[in-house]
Amino acid sequence: MAQTIISVSREFGSGGHIIAEQIAKDHGLKFYDRHLLDDIAAENNMNAAVLEKYDEKPRNAFLSRRVSGFSNSMEEILAEMQFDYIRKKADSGESFVIVGRCAESVLSGHKGLISIFVVGDDEAKIKRVEKVYGLNTSEAVLKMKRHDKKRRQYHNRHSSFRWGDSRNYDLCINSSKLGLDQTADALEDYIRARISQMQG
């Protein structure tokens, strides 16, 4: 099989993470999400728990500064470490599924990249967040808004295009219409067609 890299970005509560895991499982591909911090921590003799505090978060503009091209912001430093890690995996020829981390932008030059953005209807996302995190409706709405704001700021800081802009992904899909399982199935049909095209 030709190298295939599937990047999945998602709105909070859309189930995009679960969909990405299912795609990786069904295609027998490595799966990378926040747990790649464990590898980065081990490689750099750092504490993974410390790194998690800065994962996919925008820099604090009041506490960070850049001198001679180098930033003292842990958010920025960790982002670059993750981008280097992702590039290294891609350059090795490995096929994998990755969630978030601006992968669709970081790896935009790779021929085998398939980029996906998963959205959802607000009502369905709220119900999902309520169930998963044991929250009431107002708490779920606030959590959704907070996470999506951080993701948007992080992505827009490190990417040449806006988070969620459909023109910059191969496929955008609303998981609320078919449910998570059937959304994964629909995406896999598309992925198989793309793989066949790349091999042709």
pLDDT of residue 43: 85
pLDDT band at 3, cuts 50/70/90? very high
Q: What is the longest distance spanned by two Cα atoms in the chain?
A: 51
Q: In the 8-state DSSP scheme, what is residue 166?
A: G
Q: Judge contact between 114 and 6, C-beta under 8 A.
A: yes
The pLDDT mean for the chain works out to 89
* Number of CB atoms found within 10 A of residue 111's CB: 9
Strand 66-67 versus strand 70-71 pairing type: antiparallel
Q: Is the pLDDT of residue 34 over 50?
A: yes
Write out pLDDT tens, residues 151-186: 999 899 889 899 999 999 999 999 999 999 999 999
Radius of gyration of the chain (CA): 17
Say how far apart CA 100 and CA 148 lie, in whole Å. 12
Say how far apart CA 89 and CA 172 lie, in whole Å. 25
Task: Please list, residue by residue across 112-143, b when 16 or more beta carbons sit within 10 angstroms of its beta carbon and e when fewer do.
Answer: bbbbbbbbbeeebbbbbbbeeeebeeeebbeb
Mean pLDDT in residue range 9-35: 96
Q: Judge contact between 191 and 116, C-beta under 8 A.
A: no
Selected residue with higher pLDDT from 57 and 182: 182
Name the region of 155 (left: φ>0; alpha: ψ -120 to 50; beta: rest). Answer: alpha
pLDDT of residue 50: 63
pLDDT band at 52, cuts 50/70/90? confident
